[in-house]
Amino acid sequence: MEKIVIDKQKCIGCGFCVHSHPEYLVFDEMGQADPVGKEVESKDKNDLLETIEHCPTEAIRIEDIKEDN
């Protein structure tokens, strides 16, 4: 399963990703992007990859996360 991961050391809270994809990202209490934990849907992946490409600090990535059963 693929999920969005944010590098909090790099995130400056510009908000581009949060405003572009509110179904996947919100602001945390520090004003940084925070993934909601939702699995990346295939229909959204290309748009998310474009947003990731435009992140000014390269703080966003999509990772294949294995879930424990």
Please give the pLDDT value at position 66: 83
How far apart are the C-alpha atoms of 27 and 34, rounded to whole Å? 6
Taking the CA atoms of the chain, what radius of gyration do you get in angstroms? 11
- pLDDT single digits (tens) 2-47: 999 999 999 999 999 999 999 999 999 999 999 999 999 999 999 9
Asked if 2 and 40 count as a contact pair (C-beta separation under 8 A), the reply is: yes
pLDDT at 65 over 90: no
Domain limits, the chain: 2-64
Please give the pLDDT value at position 39: 96
Spell 30-66 as b/e; 16+ CB within 10 A means b. eebbbbeeeebeeeeeeebeebeeebeeebbebeeee
The CATH architecture of the domain made up of 2-64 is: 2-Layer Sandwich (3.30)
Per DSSP, what are the bridge partners of residue 25? Answer: 35
